[in-house]
C-alpha cells in the first residue's frame, strides 16, 4: 500500500528536506505541502492524505489548532506533530486532540520514515518510555481538575475493559497485556477497539492520558 502523505511546515527548508527524505521511500507518496494550519482543510480535501505531518508552531493557524479542527471531522487522516520538545504541554494538547503521536525535528531520517509507516498502519508513534515521560510531565506540572471527569468516563467500561485500559496506560504492548491478563492478543485488540468506541477516543495514547487523569496508574486495585 502506498501511504499518501501531506507535509505542513512554515519553514520551506524543512518542507524540502522532509519531502526529499520521505519521498525517497518506495511506499510513501508526498501528495501535497502547506506552510500554515489554515491551509490544512483545503489541502486534505484536495489530496486525501492518509497521514499529515504537522508542525506545531506556525504564524496564522498553529498545528495544534489545525489538528483539533481536522481530527474533529469524520474520516480525518491521522496526524503526526513535529516538535523540538521531548515533553511539552503543547504536545499533550495535540495528543488529546487526536494526533497519533509526535516526532522530533532532529529525529534520524530512517526513524521519521518508520514513524509515518507505523501511523499509517494504525500504531501510535509513542514508545512506552515516551508515554511514561509524558505522564510524568503532566504530573509534575499541574494538578488534575480533570480527574473526576476522567473517572466518570472510565466508569462506562466493563471490568475487563478497565483492566485493559489501565495496562495501556502503563505503556504495555498488546502482547504484554495478553500475557498479564491471560487473554489472547486478538481479544486484547477487540477490547482496545471497544474502549476507543465507548469513550470516543482516537488512539491508545488518548486511553493512556485518560487513565492517568483518572489517577488509576497508582491504584493497585484498578
pTM over 0.95: no
Residue of 137, 34, 135, 132 lying closest to 82 (CA atoms): 34
What distances in angstroms separate CA 64 from CA 33, 39, 135, 148, one per listed residue?
Answer: 17, 13, 19, 25
In the structure, what pLDDT confidence band is assigned to residue 101 with cuts at 50, 70 and 90? Answer: confident
Angle at 72 between CA 18 and CA 134, to 5 degrees: 60
In the structure, what pLDDT confidence band is assigned to residue 222 with cuts at 50, 70 and 90? Answer: very low
Which structural domains are found in the chain, ordered by start? Answer: 3-125 (3.40.50.2300), 135-218 (3.40.50.2300)
Per-residue pLDDT tens for 124-152?
Answer: 666 444 555 565 555 554 455 667 777 77
CA-based diameter of the chain, in Å?
51
Per-residue pLDDT tens for 39-78?
Answer: 999 999 999 999 999 998 888 998 889 998 998 888 889 9
Amino acid at each position: 500500500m502506498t501511504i499518501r502523505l501531506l507535509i505542513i511546515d512554515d519553514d520551506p527548508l524543512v518542507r524540502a528536506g522532509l519531502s526529499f527524505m520521505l519521498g525517497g521511500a518506495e511506499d510513501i507518496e508526498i501528495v501535497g505541502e502547506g506552510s500554515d494550519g489554515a491551509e490544512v482543510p483545503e489541502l486534505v480535501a484536495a489530496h486525501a492524505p492518509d497521514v499529515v505531518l504537522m508542525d506545531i508552531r506556525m504564524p496564522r493557524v498553529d498545528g495544534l489548532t489545525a489538528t483539533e479542527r481536522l481530527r474533529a471531522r469524520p474520516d480525518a487522516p491521522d496526524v503526526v506533530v513535529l516538535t523540538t520538545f521531548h515533553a511539552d504541554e503543547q504536545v499533550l494538547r495535540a495528543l488529546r486532540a487526536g494526533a497519533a503521536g509526535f516526532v522530533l525535528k532532529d529525529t534520524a531520517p530512517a526513524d521519521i520514515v518508520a514513524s509515518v509507516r507505523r501511523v499509517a498502519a494504525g500504531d501510535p508513534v509513542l514508545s512506552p518510555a515516551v508515554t511514561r515521560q509524558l505522564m510524568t510531565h503532566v504530573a509534575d506540572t499541574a494538578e488534575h481538575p480533570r480527574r473526576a471527569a476522567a473517572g466518570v468516563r472510565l466508569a462506562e467500561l466493563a471490568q475487563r475493559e478497565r483492566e485493559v485500559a489501565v495496562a495501556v496506560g502503563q505503556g504495555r504492548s498488546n502482547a504484554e497485556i495478553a500475557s498479564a491478563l491471560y487473554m489472547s492478543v486478538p481479544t486484547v485488540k477487540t477490547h482496545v477497539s471497544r474502549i476507543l468506541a465507548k469513550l470516543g477516543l482516537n488512539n491508545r495514547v488518548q486511553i493512556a492520558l485518560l487513565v492517568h487523569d483518572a489517577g488509576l496508574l497508582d491504584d493497585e486495585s484498578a
